[in-house]
Amino acid sequence: MNCTFVYAFVPIKPLDDIVRERAAEKAGRAMTRLDHTMQLENQALLRPDLEDERQRLTESLLADAPRRLWEDD
Protein backbone atom coordinates (compact mmCIF):
# COMPACT_ATOMS: atom_id res chain seq x y z
CA MET A 1 0.00 0.00 0.00
CA ASN A 2 3.05 2.28 0.34
CA CYS A 3 1.76 4.40 3.23
CA THR A 4 2.65 5.30 6.81
CA PHE A 5 0.35 4.80 9.77
CA VAL A 6 0.33 7.92 11.98
CA TYR A 7 -1.25 8.07 15.41
CA ALA A 8 -1.05 11.52 17.03
CA PHE A 9 -2.76 14.06 19.20
CA VAL A 10 -3.68 17.09 17.14
CA PRO A 11 -4.55 20.21 19.14
CA ILE A 12 -7.73 22.03 18.22
CA LYS A 13 -6.03 25.40 18.57
CA PRO A 14 -2.40 26.54 18.66
CA LEU A 15 -0.38 25.23 21.61
CA ASP A 16 0.65 28.77 22.59
CA ASP A 17 -3.03 29.63 23.06
CA ILE A 18 -3.62 26.51 25.16
CA VAL A 19 -0.64 27.26 27.41
CA ARG A 20 -1.65 30.93 27.80
CA GLU A 21 -5.23 29.95 28.70
CA ARG A 22 -3.95 27.48 31.30
CA ALA A 23 -1.67 30.14 32.82
CA ALA A 24 -4.56 32.60 32.93
CA GLU A 25 -6.74 29.97 34.60
CA LYS A 26 -4.13 29.26 37.29
CA ALA A 27 -3.51 32.98 37.81
CA GLY A 28 -7.25 33.56 38.11
CA ARG A 29 -7.60 30.89 40.81
CA ALA A 30 -4.64 32.30 42.73
CA MET A 31 -5.98 35.84 42.47
CA THR A 32 -9.43 34.74 43.65
CA ARG A 33 -7.93 33.26 46.81
CA LEU A 34 -5.72 36.31 47.34
CA ASP A 35 -8.58 38.76 46.77
CA HIS A 36 -10.79 36.91 49.24
CA THR A 37 -8.11 37.02 51.93
CA MET A 38 -7.41 40.69 51.27
CA GLN A 39 -11.14 41.51 51.49
CA LEU A 40 -11.30 39.81 54.88
CA GLU A 41 -8.47 42.07 56.01
CA ASN A 42 -10.15 45.11 54.44
CA GLN A 43 -7.26 45.52 51.98
CA ALA A 44 -9.00 44.56 48.75
CA LEU A 45 -7.58 45.79 45.45
CA LEU A 46 -9.64 47.80 43.02
CA ARG A 47 -10.85 45.85 39.98
CA PRO A 48 -8.39 47.46 37.52
CA ASP A 49 -5.50 46.75 39.91
CA LEU A 50 -6.72 43.19 40.38
CA GLU A 51 -6.81 42.64 36.61
CA ASP A 52 -3.33 44.14 36.20
CA GLU A 53 -2.00 41.79 38.86
CA ARG A 54 -3.73 38.82 37.20
CA GLN A 55 -2.01 39.71 33.91
CA ARG A 56 1.35 40.08 35.67
CA LEU A 57 0.93 36.71 37.37
CA THR A 58 -0.07 35.06 34.07
CA GLU A 59 3.08 36.40 32.39
CA SER A 60 5.17 35.28 35.34
CA LEU A 61 3.77 31.75 35.16
CA LEU A 62 4.50 31.60 31.45
CA ALA A 63 8.06 32.85 31.87
CA ASP A 64 9.10 30.94 34.98
CA ALA A 65 7.83 27.39 34.79
CA PRO A 66 5.44 26.45 32.01
CA ARG A 67 5.73 22.81 33.04
CA ARG A 68 4.15 23.56 36.38
CA LEU A 69 1.01 24.86 34.66
CA TRP A 70 -0.31 21.31 34.43
CA GLU A 71 0.22 20.43 38.09
CA ASP A 72 -2.80 20.60 40.35
CA ASP A 73 -2.62 23.05 43.21
How confident is the model over 17-39, as pLDDT tens digits?
A: 999 999 999 999 988 888 888 88
Domain of 34 in residue numbering reads as 27-64
> pLDDT by residue (tens digit) across 54-66?
999 999 999 987 7
Which has the higher per-residue pLDDT, 7 or 36? 7
When divided into structural domains, the chain yields a total of: 1
Checking 55-60 for CB contacts under 8 A at 24+ apart, the result is 55/27, 57/27, 57/30, 57/31, 58/20, 58/23, 58/24, 58/27
| Inside any domain, residue 70 | no
The Cα–Cα gap between 59 and 43 comes to 24
Whether 45 shows a pLDDT value over 90: the answer reads: no
Which has the higher per-residue pLDDT, 73 or 57? 57
| Inside any domain, residue 48 | yes
